[in-house]
Chains A and B, each alone.
Chain A
């Protein structure tokens, strides 16, 4: 397969796979006591960075990885290579991205589910003689699929131009398109420059192909399900959903296993070790801590400001739309995450160079804002627009002015949603690689740029240190957000229903 077709295949299949798995998980959890547990854990699970999932899978399951070695230890001799996950391949890439995107789609479904009368549809479907899982597929899936177009496109655009993971675990014969394009963009021969220009165009064509793919897939699936509905034929795959009853346990286990693997590596485990011979020591942490402070402070500084500004601009955008009663379509607001990052940032870089602008954190914060804005818009739009107007009406009858009402009612009721938006925006900023690297000229280092630079070397133990820190930062943000949210009483109902 050529670079373009394998990249297209990856960008189509991984998000779709994630969507299907997420739907089956959702159908198994939604009307079940397990749902509470899932909703509670969704945010922290969502916060695990892509890079950590990708490298974690390799550290665990590749030949020579932890699980593979443990398995070899049990059966007594080295297991055959094909049993392990290839270190660099399309398969590894598809697995990593689809596993990682499942919580994202669950978040989308959970938001959609609040607006749809799923429970009644299912009841109606069952009263007409269909099983519950058949009702999920025949009645709920077509609607959910249509309403997840933008989310699907966001996931596909991300996969299309993701650089860090492609470099580390993507196949290199041929290399994924993002890598080839990045090499052209950073190449200096005139052929490279011409290729970079055409390459950006091709990337946009690929994006258009993916959009066509989304519509085509949707059309085929809806047609198929409609035929099934008209013929009153329940779906055979419906039974598969039951496998995913254990998803939460599985995913939590995987997350913990990944974090523990990084922790073991950072404390002295290496591929030469047997359990008894390891010399556990925090020396690496002590050594690295000194050099990590700069990148860590940069990460925190950039993420702090870009998330607050991103959320503030989101509120402004929502408020202006509300006041003018003119609503722009979502894809305009979400443009930053629907366009391939690589091309967009390349353009910014040229502008940045033409301005002879400085290489400071302010510029990086500026380049993170479109992304933090897009994600917080995704999170906040629902709560903001579905907020019950009557509360403000009552306040108005007491003589409060518009802005008093806005601040004392609307803002206060939105606080829990704002907190989760902040946490998500924060983790989005922490994980940004391309804009930080390209606009900062590499001078501004963050935990993520350091992690990628180090992961491209052979030091799994130091990589593990940085991966852990990168994974923990968003986790802490979510933890703080949830603790604060719990102290705000009585607002959840107002925002969520």
Chain B
């Protein structure tokens, strides 16, 4: 097995990434050299120097040393090729730099991992690292199944752009060091040009588009989170940004606000793909339907996805990016380590790497295009006007009522 892999690895390296990695590495090294003299002087204000100072601490050096040779099982959604490719790249880097094997365990839905953690109940876990946010995080945090103090222990968390982005809470739940932001999602729609007149869309323009293109509009089936977010965006627009959406959902608020959404969907669904008798299972399936011209739009949480897909020639140039007029629902997606993780040190080293400038830049500039969360690599150009997440209590209510009304 060994000779096979090493041989192919060489072949692959030769074919795919001849200079990229080494070039970036040199760049990194040089920038470190440049920054190093300032580190002592200006530690508090400069995040980079703060990060390198923490990296040199004895505690972190011990973490690095004991992480060597560990295998880190990273449970992350596996339905997207760019993400998978990115993690393959990261695995190679981590192996080279820290002698850690990073194994991407592809899950269809991260709640599978959450339920596994619940069954394990803090005992030795199969999971060392997981990609998580929202309800899943809230649950694990409340059940005390996560390792804390990550922000303090991981040097590169000093680079997090906490001033520019709201990174301290996740769907209204404080992170408290139980998870570390990894990237930012902004909900947007990739639609055929001409489907909407403007760069923004509203429930009305969506309904008109559906009338003119019957069977060509759809959204991922809730509780898939893209689908749920689509509904949230509609609800925000239909309720004219009612303030009660950002508070715990009271029965009165539900009775007053939700009918707006259901009445709208009752009108929309007969005009959608397969007359609303089926929905794409995920945003990726929706995307492939867009590629096959079965649908006129697909949703995404990645503001750069369209540009990336178009540069890969997988979506024609006749598709444009639009977003909801109230702003794109924005949230972070994060990394957490289970309390029962068998290789917590390795997991922390991996997180630290994923927050590094090089890794964040590769994430943004590579095929994935996921926006960065660290100050040195912020990308303002592609950022959309943000819309606050709804209070987390609305999520379950919207999903459950949708299931009752349309899903059974």
Decide if A and B touch, CB cutoff 8 A: yes
Q: Which residues of A contact B (CB under 8 A)?
A: 2-3, 63-64, 78, 81, 86-89, 167-168, 171-175, 185-189, 192, 270-272, 286-287, 289-291, 293, 297, 349-350, 353, 356, 359, 441-443, 445, 449-450, 452-454, 456-460, 462
Q: B387 interface residue, CB < 8 Å from A?
A: no
Which of A289, A297, A443 has the most CB atoms of chain B within a 10 A radius of its CB?
A: A443
Q: Give the contact stretch, choosing among B42-50, B259-267, B291-299.
A: B291-299
Contact A86 B407 (CB under 8 A): no
Q: Which of B105-113, B249-257, B372-380 contacts A (4 or more CB under 8 A)?
A: B105-113
Interface residue from B9, B277, B286, B287 paired with A173 (Cβ < 8 Å):
B277
**B144 sits at the interface (CB 8 A):** no
| Apart from the given pairs A271-B293, A459-B284, 9 other A-B contacts in the complex at a CB distance below 8 Å | A63-B294, A173-B221, A186-B109, A188-B139, A271-B292, A272-B316, A287-B16, A458-B79, A458-B287
6 pairs of A and B residues whose beta carbons are closest in the complex: A64-B292, A458-B288, A457-B79, A441-B126, A458-B284, A453-B106
Interchain CB contact under 8 A, B105 and A443: yes
Specify which chain A residues have a CB less than 8 angstroms from the CB of B79 in the assembled complex: 453-454, 456-458
Question: Please, which residues of chain A bring their CB within 8 A of the CB of B293?
Answer: 64, 78, 271
Give the residue of B108, B279, B285 whose beta carbon is less than 8 angstroms from that of A458. B285
Contact of B108 among A167, A188, A353, A450 (CB under 8 A): A167
Q: Which chain A residues border B127 with CB–CB below 8 Å?
A: 441
**Bound complex: CA A473 to CA B98 (Å):** 36
A272-B316, A290-B5 known; A173+B406 contact, CB < 8 A: yes
Cβ of B281 and Cβ of A289 under 8 Å apart? no
Q: Digit string of B90-111 for contact with A (CB within 8 Å is 1, else 0)?
A: 0000000000000101111101
- Measured between alpha carbons, how far is A167 from B221 in the docked complex, in Å? 12
Q: Taking the complex as formed, is B365 at the interface, i.e. its CB lies under 8 A from any CB of chain A?
A: no
User: Chain B: which residue is nearest A65 at the CB level?
Assistant: B292
A-B contact pairs, 7 of them (CB 8 A): A172-B221, A174-B407, A188-B111, A293-B4, A453-B106, A456-B79, A456-B285
Query: Is residue B162 within 8 Å, beta carbon to beta carbon, of the partner chain?
Result: no
- Min distance, Cβ A175 to any Cβ of chain B, angstroms: 8
Check if B366 is an interface residue, CB within 8 A of chain A. Answer: no
Q: Which residues does chain A contribute within 8 Å of B276, judged by CB atoms?
A: 173
Which residue on chain B has the smallest CB distance to residue A440?
B126
Which residues of chain A come closer than 8 Å to B407, judged between CB atoms?
172-175
Per-residue CB contact flags for chain B residues 1-22 toward chain A (1 = under 8 Å, else 0) read 1001100110110011000000
B106:A356 contact, CB within 8 angstroms: no
Contacts of A271 in B (CB 8 A): 291-293
Question: In the complex, which residues 83-139 of chain B have their Cβ closer than 8 Å to any Cβ of chain A?
Answer: 88, 103, 105-109, 111-120, 123-124, 126-127, 136, 139
The chain A residue with its CB closest to the CB of B315 is A272
Is B114 in contact with A441, judged by CB distance below 8 angstroms? no
Do residues A442 and B316 form an inter-chain contact, with CB atoms below 8 A? no
Known: A453-B78, A462-B81. A441 touches B106 (CB 8 A): no
B73 within 8 A of A: yes
User: Would you call B274 an interface residue if the criterion is a C-beta within 8 Å of the partner chain's C-beta atoms?
Assistant: yes
**A287 to chain B: which residues have CB within 8 Å?**
12, 16
| CB of B282 within 8 Å of the partner chain | yes
Which chain A residues border B8 with CB–CB below 8 Å? Answer: 289-290, 293
Shortest A85–chain B CB gap in Å is: 12
Residues of B near A460 (CB, < 8 A) are: 288
A289 cross-chain contacts in B, Cβ below 8 A: 8
**Contacts A172-B278, A186-B111; is A442 near B75 (CB within 8 Å)?**
yes
* Residues on B with beta carbons closer than 8 Å to the beta carbon of A3: 408
Partner of B73, one of A270, A272, A350, A443: A443
A457: chain B residues within 8 A (beta carbon) = 78-81, 282, 284-285
Q: Least Cβ distance of A113 to chain B in Å?
A: 41
Q: CB within 8 A of B278: which of A87, A441, A452, A453?
A: A87
Closest Cβ–Cβ distance, residue A299 to chain B (whole Å): 13
